[in-house]
Amino acid sequence: MPSRLLQTSLAFTASLAALTFAAHATSLGPRPFFLIEQMQDSPLKEKLQACAKDFDAGKPIKKTLFSIGHRGAPLQFPEHTKEGYTAAARMGAGIVECDVTFTKDKELVCRHSQKDLATSTNILQTDLAATCIQPFEPAASGNKAKASCQTADILLSEFKHLTGKMDNANKKAVSVQGFLDGTTSWRTNLYANMGGTLLSHKESIALFKDLGVKFTPELKAPSVTMPFDGMSQEDYAQMLIDEYKDADIPASSVWPQSFNLKDIEYWIENEPDFGKQAIFLDGRARDGLKPQDPSTFSPTMAELKEKGINYIAPPLWMLLSLHGETIVPSAYAKEAKKAGLNIITWTLERSGPLNNGGGWYYQSVKDVINHDGQIFEVLDILAKEVGVVGVFSDWPATTSFYANCMGLK
């Protein structure tokens, strides 16, 4: 029989092991359950409530490819930071996004835009403010405060000295501190006050591998003229893929994205294994595409498929329409499905409270959007009627909960 000291030691070791496991276990937090309670009575609400009871009773939450961390978890964490990425993975996101751009020394880094440093980092409070293409100008005489700073104007080593903040700015500000204090009311600075850790693309690959998630890098449009210091757009697209190959990441674990159709075509032709899962981010609505009018689709869905494209990703409003007061799939959604394209959409939980029509992301169905419980209703229509295979979210716990409840992978 073990001695009391040994028994105590074994118990402590077991407790420590349990704590270590818990630190890496998936946890949803309260938000999905809060949203369920906001729903109107329906069979969907009953189904989600039943799942909630199962999860409360200890049913494990699994990571799911349906749940994609959009820039990490920017509803509460600074986007494209180690802390935000880690939060997304812990909420069950099976895929996490690093938007990719480059620095002055042509190193790839995770930023949503090549010129968003003034609003998403503390650069204006550092000596690097001197590199900004638009130095800070306070609001005055009816003009808004402004500033613009590019990753292409600083070295990777300098980029790494910056810290991430919640992305936004106070355009009425008369000081740098006031300009940076622009976090919208339905987000929080609670996890941003210590500063988010910025990452190179290579560092994001290593982190995501450690977190047990897959990869969806987006090649961002450069703000500088290409070629840049001898680097062409094709070189840039190739660099992104090469960093996965150098890290021995299989192509089957990577979904490279771009709004630039030529980037997608480049990957399909030159890196066919990665090109198979390349995602064409569809921003053509700004150029005249109308989701309810297939005659405006150029190229057509069938033509995109003929090019070798297998994944298309429009904003969620382009996939939805109204039939009376019922949300239904749009003509765009039907055409994409008919052509055999896999559909991914963006971005859930980026609009703030839905009591006023849901804003830009819900514009096609705004007349019936009036409360937060409809997040799950829209998600259910996207999954079951549109047939999306993945959803980007600013708070992946919601999509992870839904996917686990419905048995989606």
At residue 3, the pLDDT reads 41
Q: What integer is the mean pLDDT of 183-194?
A: 92
- Its domain, for residue 138, covers 114-198
DSSP state of 187: S
Q: Give the model's confidence band at 194: pLDDT under 50 very low, under 70 low, under 90 confident, else very high.
A: confident
pTM (two decimals): 0.93
Q: Based on the domain organization, do 180 and 221 belong to the same domain? A: no
Kindly state whether residue 10 falls inside one of the protein's structural domains: no
Q: How far apart are CA 333 and CA 109, in angstroms?
A: 33
User: Does pLDDT of 182 surpass 80?
Assistant: yes
Kindly state whether residue 27 falls inside one of the protein's structural domains: no
Q: Is the distance from CB of 103 to CB of 154 less than 8 angstroms? A: yes
Bridge partners of 200, per DSSP, are 109
pLDDT of residue 187: 96
Q: Can you tell me the distance from the alpha carbon of 188 to that of 186, in angstroms, rounded to the nearest whole number?
A: 7
Predicted confidence (pLDDT) at residue 14 exceeds the cutoff of 80: no
At residue 20, the pLDDT reads 31
Question: Is the pLDDT score of 2 beyond 50?
Answer: no
Same-domain check for residues 166 and 261: no
What average pLDDT does the segment 106-114 reach? 98
In three-state secondary structure terms, 228 is: strand
If pLDDT is split at 50, 70 and 90, which confidence band does 278 have? very high
- pLDDT at position 23 is 39
- Residues in Cβ contact with 404 at an 8 Å cutoff, skipping those fewer than 6 apart: 51, 55, 61, 62, 64, 92
Question: Which residue, 153, 170, 198, sits at the end of a domain?
Answer: 198
Residue 57 and residue 190 share a domain: no
- Percentage of the chain modeled with pLDDT above 90: 93
Q: What is the distance between the alpha carbons of residues 170 and 285, in angstroms, rounded to a whole number? A: 28
pLDDT of amino acid 70: 98
Cβ(306)–Cβ(313) below 8 Å: no
Within a domain: residue 11? no
**What is the average pLDDT across 173-201?**
95
| Of 405, 364, 369, residue with least CA distance to 67 | 405
- Residues 87 and 122 occupy one common structural domain: no
The residue with tokens 């005249």 is 288
Tell me if 34 is assigned to some domain.
no
pLDDT band at 195 (very low <50, low <70, confident <90, very high): confident
pLDDT tens per residue across span 60-88: 999 999 999 999 999 999 999 999 999 99
Per-chain mean pLDDT for the chain: 94
Amino acid identity at 186 = W
> 299 and 328 share a domain?
yes
**Whether the predicted pLDDT of 222 surpasses 50:** yes
Contacts of residue 307, Cβ cutoff 8 Å, sequence gap at least 6: 264, 265, 268, 299
Neighbour tally for 406: CB within 10 Å: 17
Tokens of 122: 């503390």
Question: Which of 198, 232, 253 is the C-terminal boundary of a domain?
Answer: 198
pLDDT tens column, 316-334? 999 999 999 999 999 999 9
Question: What tokens does 66 get?
Answer: 């349906």
Residues 255 and 352 in one domain: yes
pLDDT at 24: 56
Any domain includes 15 = no
Burial 110-149 (b: 16+ CB within 10 A, else e): bbbbbbbbbbbbbbbeeebbebbeeebebbeeeeebbbbb
Asked whether residue 11 carries a pLDDT value surpassing 70, the answer given is no
Dihedral of the CA atoms 280, 66, 240, 315 (nearest 10)?
40
Residue 338 placed within a domain: yes
**Which pLDDT belongs to residue 384?**
98
Does residue 189 sit in the same domain as residue 329?
Answer: no
> Measured between alpha carbons, how far is 106 from 153 in angstroms, rounded to an integer?
10
Do 270 and 354 belong together in one domain?
A: yes
**pLDDT at position 25, please?**
75
- List pLDDT tens digits, range 122-148: 999 999 999 999 999 999 999 999 999
Contact 160, 204 (CB under 8 A): no
Query: Confidence band (pLDDT; 50, 70, 90) for 193?
Result: confident
**Do 175 and 225 share a structural domain?**
no
Q: Of 198, 220, 253, which one is at a domain's C-terminal end?
A: 198
Angle (CA) 203 206 210, round 5°: 135
Do 85 and 146 sit in the same domain of this protein? no
Query: Do 191 and 203 belong to one domain?
Result: no
Taking residues 225-248, report their average pLDDT: 98
For residue 283, what is the domain's CATH number?
3.20.20.190
Number of domains in the chain: 2
Angle subtended at Cα 323 by Cα 318 and Cα 325, rounded to the nearest 5 degrees: 105
State whether 210 and 192 are in the same domain. Answer: no
